[in-house]
């Protein structure tokens, strides 16, 4: 048996080696074809293509369009002899191609890059290094001055990167626009905390994301490297109709500092955060290997980021997903003070309820209750924090959510069937993966939570699993629960959500029913 395993291993190694040779040969060949195509277009008087500029494809990923239509062969991260580092040594780098001043695109389409390619020299990135200069700036732009220095895959802005592309394509945005960061610095100082220098504690955001234009200002100015902040910190007032009611009911008392007046207006410090993933750390949180994570991200984004496969040397990825916003009530310095009390609500987006007041779930009520409790904690000398994650419909999206609503309302809408409906349609009941959520708590310097305004066992376990103890869990009071959302809350409690009350029996759960469509129609 042992002999035959060795034989298989040898054959596999031989196949891998010849694939690697083929890849190199393919690289040089496509480069040669590209050169030929270019010199032909220089010598012949062929008319320009219909697009404003003509492109060809380089970097061993595919030959120019009109040639033989070969499919790119890319190495898999999971098979060691085919690590991307082995490939691409002979291909010219992306910086070799001239850039059009009009569109900002290089004249040859850079489908992907390889580690040892000419012109590829990533800026050092030492994730978790406590010194931001030594850690290095997250560099992701494909601007001509920066593309060879990239140490991150993806694009800035999360899902908004697509609008950025549209703005450039439609020439609303100039390709050579340079942001002017004058006066954009954080409105309050947060950190640095020791957690920022722990590569296991923060894996889903850049702890230096708010200081980019200043920490790496020299590089932006002197070396023309295109770097952007991924965090912004500001201050504001906010006004919610329910909080005016809270003041009227005497639950909130204006103090002129946190709750400003009888209208329930609040003073708040806000932090917007875009996702930046350190792939080995993200993989570790999910208990999977980095190769599997990279391959899945590549496949299920329509192959949008080939560098997830070809650039095993780049460990940082800016995913095309929504980020989060932190709302801080009271003195932000108190968040990290172990002697100050902290109330916290972690909230996942539910546009239908949060913004438009749908009564089928408890989202807006819990959000408002969270804000009210956060304000009270701040007024009592502690601090209150509400963190709002863009994870609509448990990260299944609003379309799936509405399909589930239809199935519920066309059925009997019983609490006992609540999660089954979602699972039937989506295959899972939840895709929020709270495993990455506690990063923001580490970033804010939070080391314990006195009052956790949530019943979710998933949020609780993720936070405690990251070494941040929760001293008290506060459930949504019964009087805040809209009638039609009893189905949701009872199903959640039965599925493991926290309650100080008693759990329901299967029979009792069956008896909890939501409003039928017929009732709405009258």
Ligand X SMILES: Nc1nc2c(ncn2[C@@H]2O[C@H](COP(=O)(O)OP(=O)(O)OP(=O)(O)O)[C@@H](O)[C@H]2O)c(=O)[nH]1
DSSP code for 333: G
Q: From residue 379 to residue 398, what is the string marking binding to ligand X with x (rule CB under 6 A)?
A: ------------xxxx-x--
Choose which of 219, 363, 426, 446 interacts with Zn ion (CB under 5 A).
363
Choose which of 108, 401, 442, 451 interacts with ligand X (CB under 6 A).
401
Q: Give Cα separations from 95 to 39, 51, 106 (angstroms).
A: 19, 22, 8
Would you say 486 and 512 are in contact if contact means Cβ atoms under 8 Å apart?
A: yes
Would you say 435 and 464 are in contact if contact means Cβ atoms under 8 Å apart?
A: no
In the 3-class helix/strand/coil scheme, how is 299-314 assigned residue by residue? Answer: HCCCCCCCHHHHCCCC
Q: Give Cα separations from 321 to 148, 346, 389, 427, 432 (angstroms).
A: 25, 18, 11, 21, 12
Residue 489 sits in the site that holds ligand X (CB under 6 A): no
Instruction: Give the interface size with ligand X as a residue count (CB under 6 A).
Output: 22
What's the min distance (Å) between Cβ of 274 and Zn ion? 24
Per partner kind, with CB cut-offs from 5 to 8 A, the member of ligand X, Zn ion, none near residue 211 is none
Q: How many CB atoms lie within 10 A of CB 472?
A: 10
Would you say 112 and 27 are in contact if contact means Cβ atoms under 8 Å apart?
A: no
Q: From residue 17 to residue 56, what is the string marking binding to ligand X with x (rule CB under 6 A)?
A: ----------------------------------------
6 is catalytic: no
By CB under 6 A, the residues from 413 to 472 that bind ligand X are 422, 454-456, 459
Select from 317, 320, 301, 298 the least CA-distant residue to 309: 298
Burial of 264 from C-beta contacts in 10 A (0-12 / 13-18 / 19+): buried
430 is catalytic: yes
Q: From residue 307 to residue 346, what is the string marking binding to ligand X with x (rule CB under 6 A)?
A: ----------------------------------------
Choose which of 34, 349, 373, 439 interacts with ligand X (CB under 6 A).
349
- Beta strand pairing call for 56-58 and 266-273: unpaired
Choose which of 219, 361, 383, 437 interacts with ligand X (CB under 6 A).
361
The residue count for the chain: 522
Catalytic site residue from 285, 432, 451, 473: 432
Per partner kind, with CB cut-offs from 5 to 8 A, the member of Zn ion, ligand X, none near residue 422 is ligand X
Binding residues for ligand X (CB under 6 A): 347-350, 361, 363, 366, 391-394, 396, 400-401, 404, 422, 454-456, 459, 488, 497
Just list the catalytic residues. 430, 432
Binding residues for Zn ion (CB under 5 A): 350, 353, 361, 363
């Amino acid at each position: 048996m042992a002999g035959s395993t060795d034989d298989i291993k040898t054959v596999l190694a031989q196949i891998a080696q010849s694939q690697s040779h083929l890849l190199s040969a393919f690289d040089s060949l496509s480069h040669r074809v590209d050169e030929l195509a270019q010199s032909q277009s220089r010598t012949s008087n062929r008319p320009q293509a219909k697009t404003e500029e003509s492109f060809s494809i380089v970097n061993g990923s595919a030959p120019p369009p009109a040639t033989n239509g070969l499919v790119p062969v890319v190495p898999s991260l999971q098979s060691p002899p085919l690590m991307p580092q082995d490939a691409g040594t002979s291909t010219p780098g992306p910086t070799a191609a001239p850039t059009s001043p009009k569109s900002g695109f290089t004249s040859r389409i850079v489908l992907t890059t390889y580690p040892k390619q000419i012109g590829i020299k990533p800026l050092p990135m030492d994730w978790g290094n406590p010194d931001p200069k030594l850690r290095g700036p997250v560099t992701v732009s494909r601007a001509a001055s920066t593309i060879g220095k990239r140490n991150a895959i993806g694009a800035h802005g999360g899902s908004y990167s697509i609008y950025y592309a549209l703005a450039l394509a439609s020439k609303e945005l100039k390709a050579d626009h340079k942001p002017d960061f004058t006066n954009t610095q954080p409105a309050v100082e947060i950190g640095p905390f020791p957690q920022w220098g722990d590569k296991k504690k923060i894996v889903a955001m850049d702890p230096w994301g708010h200081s980019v234009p200043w920490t790496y200002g020299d590089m932006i100015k002197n070396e023309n490297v295109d770097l952007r902040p991924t965090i912004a910190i500001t201050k504001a007032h906010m006004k919610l109709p329910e909080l005016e009611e809270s003041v009227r009911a005497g639950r909130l008392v204006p103090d002129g500092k946190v709750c400003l007046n009888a209208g329930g207006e609040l003073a708040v410090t806000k932090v917007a955060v875009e996702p930046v993933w350190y792939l080995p750390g993200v993989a570790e949180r999910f208990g999977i290997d980095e190769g599997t994570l990279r391959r899945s991200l590549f496949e299920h984004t329509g192959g949008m980021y080939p560098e997830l496969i070809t650039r095993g040397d780049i460990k940082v990825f800016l995913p095309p997903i929504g980020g989060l916003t932190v709302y801080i009530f009271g003195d932000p310095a108190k968040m990290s003070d172990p002697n100050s009390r902290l109330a916290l609500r972690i909230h996942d987006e539910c546009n239908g309820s949060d913004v438009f007041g749908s009564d089928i779930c408890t989202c807006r009520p819990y959000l408002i209750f969270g804000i009210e409790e956060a304000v009270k904690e701040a007024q009592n000398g502690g601090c209150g924090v509400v963190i709002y994650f863009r994870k609509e419909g448990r990260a299944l999206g609003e379309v799936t959510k509405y399909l589930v609503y239809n199935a519920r309302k066309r059925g009997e809408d019983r609490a006992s069937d609540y999660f089954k409906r979602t699972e039937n349609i989506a295959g899972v009941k939840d895709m929020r993966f709270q495993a990455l959520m506690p990063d923001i708590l580490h970033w804010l310097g939070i080391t314990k939570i006195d009052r956790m305004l949530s019943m979710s066992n998933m949020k609780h376990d993720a936070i405690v699993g990251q070494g941040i103890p929760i001293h008290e869990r506060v459930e949504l009071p019964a009087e805040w629960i809209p009638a039609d959302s009893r189905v949701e809350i009872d199903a959640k409690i039965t599925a493991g959500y926290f309650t100080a009350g008693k759990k329901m029996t299967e029979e009792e759960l069956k008896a909890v029913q939501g409003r039928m469509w017929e009732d709405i129609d009258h």
